[in-house]
Amino acid sequence: MSEKTLVRPVFTGQELRKLILPLVLEQFLAVTVGMADTMMVSTVGEAAVSGISLVDQANLLLIQVFAAMATGGAVVASQYLGRRDRDGARDSARQLVYVVLALSVTLAVVCVVFNRHLLRLMFGQVEPDVMQAAETYFWLSALSYPFIAVYNAGAALFRSMGNSKVSLLASFIMNVINIGGNALLIYGFQMGVAGAATASLFSRMTACFMVLYLLRSRQNPIYLEQVLHLHLDGGKIRSILKVGIPNGIENGMFQIGKLLVAGLVASFGTASIAANAICNNIGSLVSIPAAAIGLGMVTVVGRCMGADEKKQARTYTRNLLLIAWATIVVMNGLILVLAKPLVGFYAMPASTTDLSLEILREFCLWSIFSWTPSFVLPNALRAAGDAKFTMCVSMVSMWIFRIGMSYVLAYALDMGLRGVWLAMYIDWCVRAVIFLWRAKGDRWQQKKVIE
């Protein structure tokens, strides 16, 4: 028997399904949190929808930074598990909790204290009723940052163990609390925007405490113990930050770009803000299965690299990318067919509804070709330690094409909101070409995350 046939797969087909299928369901549940807020608050009026939409752009910026740090911790933990070093994996988990907690508490304090100033800096002089809704939603959202940050870290650690059922269960409970809280506080107590934000806050608190409790079990390959006895490991923190910082900068710059674009959209008026929010909400459904596969790819490729199975890392990357692409095709087809009733759920004026339908249909066609290599494939590169490359490509493409072209198309060519979305598609296409070229070569597999 040859040596090649003796190589054991790092992940069997069954293990991949156990990892990825719960992630798909979890992503569907996660997206419904934002959709439930927007749909249920839409009964309060366009100003409430617009205020939540603007703040969610800022919230997403910070949540993406927390998620980037969680990804850094997941990559490090996965590589330690691939090396069969459970002590190293457990200690890296503790360091990850310290990092995300310190970061999220700091940002929460800044956002609560400088609420109005930050909103005016990001969005300028929007209509007074929109700004009032945004201020209320922003400070209540900021209180949830430490909880969502620690939850993301815990969920990432469970994924690195190949267990995504825990985060699925936590996401389900979070959605039940959020939607039930929305119904009670928005409709029952007539709290409007404050009700939506409060429900989200309590749902995130619950998910955070649940994941922390489950991470204390010694039956897990990675478990947390003596977290309150502060012990900082500079080497492991550096390993986490080696992936987390470039990924955080990449995600942060991406969301800052979206904020600048959101400020541009705000200048088009309330109808465009609302249409933009509706299309972002519905459009997020399209990528759910593919995004879940991308999350699983971090664990799979990280384990392969930790075990020094570079050939398997390449094979898994190719196969998972193709599966993700197939899901994108199917999901976009469904959205195209159901676009009109989906947009109708938001109960907006006819002009807003017509603009939303036009943009959403164009979005589906562009997404089929360019979304998957733009956003799924980079996860494999990051899991191998090639996070700086993905950061540089994403930042350059964002500033030149997503932001620069938005102003050119929206103002110079007078395309308005459609021009902003067209600039986004150009950005996707540029990223797709570069990341496919990088994955075809070998340099991404020569990086080191842990020593």
Per-residue pLDDT tens digits for 411-429: 888 788 888 999 999 999 9
pLDDT tier at 274, thresholds 50, 70, 90: confident
For 141-152, what is the mean pLDDT? 94
Assess whether pLDDT exceeds 60 at residue 332.
Answer: yes
Q: How many domains does the chain have?
A: 1
For 73-98, what is the mean pLDDT? 89
Is residue 1 one of the residues assigned to a domain? no
pLDDT tier at 5, thresholds 50, 70, 90: very low
Distance, CA of 337 to CA of 73 (rounded, Å) = 40
Of 8-22, 133-147, 226-240, 432-446, which range is least confident?
A: 226-240
Assess whether pLDDT exceeds 90 at residue 150.
Answer: yes
117 token code pair: 């100033």
Name which residue leads in pLDDT, 255 or 357.
357
Find out whether 33 and 59 touch, Cβ atoms under 8 Å: no
Is residue 3 one of the residues assigned to a domain? no
Is residue 304 one of the residues assigned to a domain? yes
pLDDT of residue 319: 95
Mean pLDDT of the chain: 86
pLDDT tier at 377, thresholds 50, 70, 90: very high
Distances (CA, A) of 323 to 15, 146, 251, 409, 440: 16, 34, 24, 34, 18
Enclosing domain of residue 37: 11-446
**pTM as predicted:** 0.80
Is residue 451 one of the residues assigned to a domain? no
Residues 6+ apart with CB under 8 A from 377: 317, 321, 435, 436, 439
pLDDT tier at 237, thresholds 50, 70, 90: confident
Distance, CA of 24 to CA of 214 (rounded, Å) = 21
Find out whether 371 and 428 touch, Cβ atoms under 8 Å: yes
Is residue 377 one of the residues assigned to a domain? yes
Name which residue leads in pLDDT, 311 or 447.
311
**Sign for the pseudo-dihedral over CA of 427, 430, 436, 442:** negative
Composition of the chain by helix, strand, coil, percent to 5: 85, 0, 15
The long-range contacts involving 431-436, CB below 8 angstroms and separated by at least 24 positions, are 431/370, 431/373, 431/374, 431/375, 431/378, 431/393, 431/394, 431/397, 432/369, 432/370, 432/372, 432/373, 432/374, 434/393, 434/397, 435/373, 435/374, 435/377, 435/378, 435/381, 435/390, 435/393, 436/373, 436/377
Find out whether 171 and 158 touch, Cβ atoms under 8 Å: no
For 327-351, what is the mean pLDDT? 86
pLDDT of residue 311: 92
CA atoms within 13 Å, Cβ hemisphere of 403: 16
Is residue 436 one of the residues assigned to a domain? yes
pLDDT of residue 451: 66
CA atoms within 13 Å, Cβ hemisphere of 416: 12
For 104-132, what is the mean pLDDT? 87
For 230-275, the DSSP string reads ----HHHHHHHHHHHHHHHHHHHHHHHHHHHHHHHHHTT-HHHHHH
Q: Give φ, ψ of 83 to 5 degrees.
A: -80, -5
Find out whether 389 and 309 touch, Cβ atoms under 8 Å: no
pLDDT of residue 1: 35
pLDDT of residue 34: 57
Is residue 5 one of the residues assigned to a domain? no
pLDDT tens digit sequence for 154-211: 999 999 998 889 988 988 898 889 888 988 998 888 888 888 889 989 999 999 999 9
pLDDT tens digit sequence for 15-43: 899 899 998 888 777 666 656 656 676 77
Assess whether pLDDT exceeds 60 at residue 2.
Answer: no
pLDDT of residue 235: 84
For 371-390, the DSSP string reads HHHHHTHHHHHHHTT-HHHH
Cα angle, residue 285 at apex, residues 283 and 288 outer, rounded to 5°: 125
pLDDT of residue 37: 59
Is residue 286 one of the residues assigned to a domain? yes
Query: Which 3 state secondary structure label does DSSP give 108?
Result: helix
Assess whether pLDDT exceeds 90 at residue 147.
Answer: yes
Residues 6+ apart with CB under 8 A from 426: 401, 402, 405
pLDDT of residue 7: 63
pLDDT of residue 3: 42
